[in-house]
Structure 1
Amino acid sequence: GSKTAGVIAANDEFFAERENLLKPTPAVFDPEHFGHKGKIMDGWETRRRRGADGDHPFPADDEHDWALIRLAAPGVIRGVIVDTAHFRGNYPQQITVEATALPGSPGPEELLADGVKWEELVPRTPVRGHAANGFAVTVERRFTHLRLKQHPDGGIARLRVHGEVVPDPEWLDALGTLDLVSVLHGGTVEDASDRFYSSPTQLIRPDLSRKMDDGWENRRRRVRGTNDWVRFRLAAQGEIRAVEIDTAYLKGNSAGWAALSGCNGDPSDEAGWFEILPKTRLQPDTPHRFRLPAAVTATHVRLDVFPDGGLARLRLHGELTAAGREALGSRFTALGG
């Protein structure tokens, strides 16, 4: 769940609101938490559906509850987690996950219109209660929205959708200068020395850090001569002109120094790496901005921190090269964009 994702509609949220599905924190359970409508759960929970005769709890087989989700960024989906944490006697029997790709900013009416083609990512499948139900997805297409169905009714605590961002190259053209490493534009973490406190992917989120655990913090190093690092793949080959390293909210645990190196091609070729920013002293809880003396062409960067410590955000401002733009365009087209 990112700040830009959203649950834009649901047919029923009698007991608990649909927005809870995307809360970034794990679901919690408060046994004393009741409201006017009954038990309040940390998730999305619908009322009980009933059969027509009243003697049988099951409604007609095709009846279900649904929620529509806008992805934080369009892309290829690799995996979905339907987490029913704390739903023990009130989780759905089965779920279905479908996806579609629509341009612009469609509302519920456009998404539910007759002509919209939904593709099944997870067919109707039983789920377990109080469990993180994981599903691998193999559909190689770019999607913008999901529809989560629960058969026939019940509660789901959290929805997590993992995959690769596939931006619209024409939108990036319109931006001109852009953050080449931003997750919103298709930048990714390829490897990292440490993920102890938080994911290094938070370094390349498009928003500003709001608190200490919003960035990347590693454990304390106890071995001399070693340091922590993260390697990123840029959205595509680009020319980097300026670097931002932010240590917001990290005060007694920010990195003391940082260095940035890059490569243009194969990251496994050690000889191909070059210095972008030399080892530079950092201040705690401070944004740092560096204009490069000349534009640097790269496909990957490696951020080293010395000896350890946290960072809030990394931004690499620049432009796509002609080859980078062409590669993005080809991928966009191949995935149905």
Structure 2
Amino acid sequence: MASTATTAFTALTDFTGDALPYAGGNPYADYRKGELPFAGLAELSDRRLGAGIIAANDEFFAERENLLLPGPAVFDPEHFGHKGKVMDGWETRRRRGGSADVPHPDAADHDWALIRLGAPGVIRGVVVDTAHFRGNYPQAVSVEATAHSISAAPEDLLDPDVEWTELVARTPVGGHAENAFAVHVERRFTHLRLRQHPDGGVARLRVFGEVVPDPGWLTELDTFDLVALENGGRVEDASDRFYSPPEHTIMPGRSQKMDDGWETRRRRDTGNDWIRYRLVEQGVIRAVEIDTAYLKGNAAGWASLSIRDGAEGEWLTLIPRVRLQPDSLHRFLVNPIPSTHVRIDIFPDGGIARLRLYGSLTEDGATRFTKRAEAIS
């Protein structure tokens, strides 16, 4: 089905045109970058959540999977292959017209990639990063979204009856730049279609928003991690983000290395560091895991856990200050008290790798969560 009418979006950057050819030295020295308002939002395109590029119409020069690689794109000026310059991104071949009399592509010609979000959610921002694509970036991009089964096959999404909502209308972008868009659509989506007009290369695609899982799935689970990012939990605030972000503490799986957790700078005062979380909805926590995996000389020395019910509720101690061991998993059984927010305090500084809060939604929490999910589906 043809895309629905264009919806509101805001271009947060206005980079257009070619970047200068690479002249040596630091390839990011002339990279065009903006100040983006996406801090604290979940990266719905994160591979660690399960995001993936499930199809593309062309990937002649550089494979589509590069779009979701973690970290900034890298550039090796000496790296060439049998098809040409090897780029860290998704790059398609040059489009041509149909004949010698019409050598240029038609205005409607474009390349596309289908992206499965790592978690369903409301999209607040999209970044189409053309780092190192200086003269071979697309002239313009557009982005559409749909809600489907998370395991949908490419042929399912390409069915003409599938309804796509335009998040970002066809908009010119610049080469070697961070092209960013704020999205204003209060709907839950599972998949994106990125179009580049008419061809070219994109280094990275980043999608930011709020996770909204399937309420029916969580209801059937009954007991689950109430603060996990993939279940709709989130970090509201933290005292320190110096070495690694607090959002790492609610990512799936166990930490695989030191910077896969949360680590603060060294304190030189008598205070302490902390993270405040918002649960997916009101729930009762029955079991807690505090994991300091791979934090060996810089794990927090002690930690305590507090809860409150509602944004203005009184903080209650769930776990009093306890000693933490480095590179270890700590487990606690706790009294199930209804709550919506959790705060972990670490003493005096250092970090933790993961926090797991196992429990169930209350009846009120489940009702509110289901109503909100239905309203944006």
TM-score (norm 2): 0.86
Residue 173 of structure 1 deviates from its aligned partner by 1.1
- Paired residue for 1:300? 341
Cα distance in 1 for partners of 2:52, 2:253 equals 15
**Which amino acid letter does the alignment assign opposite residue 299 of structure 2?**
S
The equivalent position to 2:282 in structure 1, one of 202, 224, 237, is: 237
**Which amino acid letter does the alignment assign opposite residue 338 of structure 2?**
T
- Paired residue for 2:57? 11
- Paired residue for 1:193? 239
Cα distance in 1 for partners of 2:153, 2:226 equals 30
Cα distance in 2 for partners of 1:20, 1:104 equals 21
Q: Could you report, residue by residue, the CA deviation over 1:294-336 in whole angstroms, capped at 9, with x for unpaired residues?
A: 2122100011111111211000000000011001100011001
Cα distance in 1 for partners of 2:68, 2:231 equals 21
Task: After superposing the two structures, state which structure 1 stretch, 54-63 or 298-307, moved more.
Answer: 54-63
**Which amino acid letter does the alignment assign opposite residue 246 of structure 1?**
D
Please say if 1:274 is aligned against 2:319: no
Cα distance in 1 for partners of 2:188, 2:121 equals 5
2:264–2:350 contact (8 Å) kept in structure 1: yes
The equivalent position to 1:182 in structure 2, one of 222, 228, 250, is: 228
The equivalent position to 1:209 in structure 2, one of 255, 259, 265, is: 255
**Which amino acid letter does the alignment assign opposite residue 145 of structure 1?**
H
1:54/1:216 Cα in 2 relative to 1: closer, same or farther (>3 Å)? farther
- Paired residue for 2:120? 74
The equivalent position to 1:165 in structure 2, one of 181, 191, 211, is: 211
The equivalent position to 1:145 in structure 2, one of 174, 179, 191, is: 191
Residue 51 of structure 1 deviates from its aligned partner by 1.8
Residue 282 of structure 1 deviates from its aligned partner by 0.6
**Which amino acid letter does the alignment assign opposite residue 79 of structure 1?**
G
- Paired residue for 2:171? 125
**Which amino acid letter does the alignment assign opposite residue 231 of structure 1?**
R
- Paired residue for 1:328? 369
Q: Could you report, residue by residue, the CA deviation over 1:152-202 in whole angstroms, capped at 9, with x for unpaired residues?
A: 011101111000011111100111210000001100111111111221111
Please say if 1:263 is aligned against 2:263: no
1:49–1:57 contact (8 Å) kept in structure 2: no
**Which amino acid letter does the alignment assign opposite residue 132 of structure 1?**
E
Residue 23 of structure 1 deviates from its aligned partner by 0.8
Residue 2 of structure 1 deviates from its aligned partner by 2.9
The equivalent position to 1:114 in structure 2, one of 149, 160, 165, is: 160
**Which amino acid letter does the alignment assign opposite residue 282 of structure 1?**
L
Please say if 1:318 is aligned against 2:364: no
Residue 252 of structure 1 deviates from its aligned partner by 1.2
Residue 55 of structure 1 deviates from its aligned partner by 7.0
**Which amino acid letter does the alignment assign opposite residue 49 of structure 1?**
R
Cα distance in 1 for partners of 2:204, 2:149 equals 26
2:150–2:190 contact (8 Å) kept in structure 1: no
Q: Could you report, residue by residue, the CA deviation over 1:104-156 in whole angstroms, capped at 9, with x for unpaired residues?
A: 51100000001000000000001111111110000110000000000001110
SS state at 1:308 partner? coil
Cα distance in 2 for partners of 1:171, 1:43 equals 35
Q: Map of 1:24-103 to 2, 5 A cutoff? A: 24-54=70-100, 58-103=104-149
1:182–1:206 contact (8 Å) kept in structure 2: yes
The equivalent position to 1:309 in structure 2, one of 336, 350, 355, is: 350
Q: Give RMSD over aligned pairs.
A: 1.2
2:228–2:250 contact (8 Å) kept in structure 1: yes
1:38/1:257 Cα in 2 relative to 1: closer, same or farther (>3 Å)? same
Cα distance in 2 for partners of 1:36, 1:163 equals 39
SS state at 2:262 partner? coil
Residue 57 of structure 1 deviates from its aligned partner by 6.0
1:94–1:152 contact (8 Å) kept in structure 2: yes
SS state at 1:220 partner? coil
Percent identity over the alignment? 67
2:116–2:150 contact (8 Å) kept in structure 1: no
The equivalent position to 1:222 in structure 2, one of 265, 268, 272, is: 268
Residue 26 of structure 1 deviates from its aligned partner by 1.1
The equivalent position to 1:285 in structure 2, one of 327, 336, 339, is: 327
**Which amino acid letter does the alignment assign opposite residue 154 of structure 2?**
P
**Which amino acid letter does the alignment assign opposite residue 65 of structure 1?**
D
Residue 206 of structure 1 deviates from its aligned partner by 1.7
Residue-pair matches, total: 331
Cα distance in 1 for partners of 2:122, 2:367 equals 19
Q: Which runs of 5+ in 2 are unaligned?
A: 1-45
Residue 52 of structure 1 deviates from its aligned partner by 2.2
TM-score (norm 1): 0.96
